[in-house]
Amino acid sequence: EQDDTRPPVIWLEFQSCSGDSEAFLRSSAPTAVQIILDTISLEYAEIVMAAAGHQAEEARHQAMEKYKGRYIAIVEGSIPTGKSGAYCTVAGQSAEEITRKVCGNALATIAVGTCATFGGLPAAAPNPTEARSVKEVVPNATVLNLPGCPVNAANLSAALVHFLTFGRLPAADRFGRPRFAYGKRIHDNCERRGHFDAGQYAETFGDYGHRQGWCLYKLGCKGPETWHNCPTVRYNDGLSWPVMAGHGCIGCSEPGFWDSMTPFYRR
């Protein structure tokens, strides 16, 4: 029996690599199991549900009807609009049609990962499938954007808990990103910042400066232009993040980063 305090969630996946689902399933503070069983009521998510085919679609239709206007939609992946939606269909319906119906009747939508929030890799020039973000497909829907490649599961949990506690989505910036997670630049909290200020840079991968943990700016780091909480929250439950692992930030949470942040290895 449905526990009324847990909001029903419908998780859609379109043009994606499933990296956001993977990140979510591997989180451990809280675990995906805790969230799925205790915090939300996951009605539909292709990657974790036991049902398949017609049964799965039936579950989605039933949830949409039963909880109309009360469920949360989570969308992963971009939505192709070219060729009348033929590039991505589920059960004979185009991703665009499904997004309109599911997000259009949701209480709120959370777009996870850079593909759902800004189009991501599929939308990179020349964007052969005419991929769009969730907000572009349903401009009137209430959408919170959690970009990142992949989304940081800690930020998804925090957004869900905020929603459950306050009954509304957290305050967002002009790109629809919650300020609690995207309010500061990578560069402002980076542990290599002292080296940047001191003019100590790695010049090539594996050189003395690189091994000493010096700043990766000259190796192409886009931390100065990127807004995300990676240095403080980190990935894999606080274990590490790109710059800590010795690789510059590639700006994965910024709109159009595949076109605007490349080449990744040069300034």
Q: How far apart are CA 153 and CA 23, in angstroms?
A: 6
Q: Is 177 in the site for ligand SF4 (CB under 6 A)?
A: no
Of ligand SF4, ligand F3S, none, which one does residue 40 interact with (CB within 5 to 8 Å by kind)? none
- C-beta contacts of 177-183 below 8 A and 24+ residues apart: 177/117, 177/144, 177/145, 177/146, 177/147, 177/227, 177/253, 178/144, 178/146, 180/229, 181/146, 181/152, 181/155, 181/228, 181/229, 181/233, 182/147, 182/227, 182/228, 182/229, 182/253, 183/227, 183/229
- 149 belongs to an annotated ligand binding site: yes
Tell which one of 72, 141, 143, 230 touches ligand F3S (CB under 6 A): 230
Is 17 labelled as part of a ligand binding site?
yes
Tokens of 24: 């979510």
Is 243 near ligand SF4 (CB under 6 A)?
yes
Interface positions, 223-242, toward ligand SF4 (CB under 6 A) = 223-224
Judged by CB under 6 A, the residue of 252, 259, 262, 266 near ligand F3S is 252
Minimal distance, residue 25 CB to ligand SF4, in Å: 29
Residues with Cβ < 8 Å from 220, sequence gap 6 or more? 248, 250, 263, 264, 265, 266, 267
By Cβ distance, which residue is nearest to ligand SF4?
223
* 103 known member of a binding site: no
11 binds ligand F3S (CB under 6 A): no
Q: Which of 100, 101, 193, 210 binds ligand SF4 (CB under 6 A)?
A: 193
Applying CB under 6 A, the residues found at the interface with ligand F3S are: 148, 186, 226, 228, 230, 241-243, 249-253
